[in-house]
Amino acid sequence: MKALSVSRPWTTLILQFDKSPENRSWPTSYRGPLWLHAARSWDADAIPWAEELGLIPVGAVSRRSADHPTGLVGQVTVTGLCSAWSVRREPQSECWCPLWAADNQYHWLLTQPRSLAEPIACRGALGLWEPAEDVVAQARWST
């Protein structure tokens, strides 16, 4: 199964607050289950932005990077791709994406988020990649 590395805390927002779509500068033809890998990188603007737009309750997500683990953290299913550009400026756009969608990006539609009980330490990679079998074998799901 493929994996996608995503900057933290976006992985938390995907798994706990159904953040879909995932904004990317590149499209994908991949459909199906996808491991979600929390990268070491941290986007300090993510949580304040999501709170400001009312996408998450204020204070619902820690702003401390240390509270957001790295490694494989869960799984989602890629079910579609919106390739509409300039979503907010063109109301006739065919893009079906909600406020999480960023202008001038491809929007990967992620569904069925599932969190692992514990993150699994492993290195990420650019693009879609496949985690080692011994890493995947450690997966235990949250209840």
The per-residue pLDDT for range 44-79, each reduced to its tens digit, is 999 999 999 899 999 999 999 999 999 999 999 999
Question: How many CA atoms within 13 Å lie on the side-chain side of 44?
Answer: 0
Tell me: pLDDT of 134 over 70.
Answer: yes
Predicted local distance difference test score (pLDDT) of residue 87: 46
pLDDT more than 70, % of the chain:
90
More confident residue, 139 or 97: 139
The per-residue pLDDT for range 79-93, each reduced to its tens digit, is 988 876 544 444 445
- Give Dmax (Cα) for the chain: 47
- Domain spanning 2-122: CATH superfamily: Hypothetical protein. (2.30.130.30)
Residue 36: alpha-carbon gap to chain centroid: 7
* Rounded Cα distance, 5 and 47, in Å: 18
Predicted local distance difference test score (pLDDT) of residue 52: 93
Predicted local distance difference test score (pLDDT) of residue 103: 79
Predicted local distance difference test score (pLDDT) of residue 92: 43
Predicted TM-score (pTM) of the model is 0.90
Task: Specify the pairing of strand 2-8 against strand 32-42.
Answer: parallel
Q: Is 37 left (phi over 0), alpha (psi -120 to 50) or beta?
A: beta
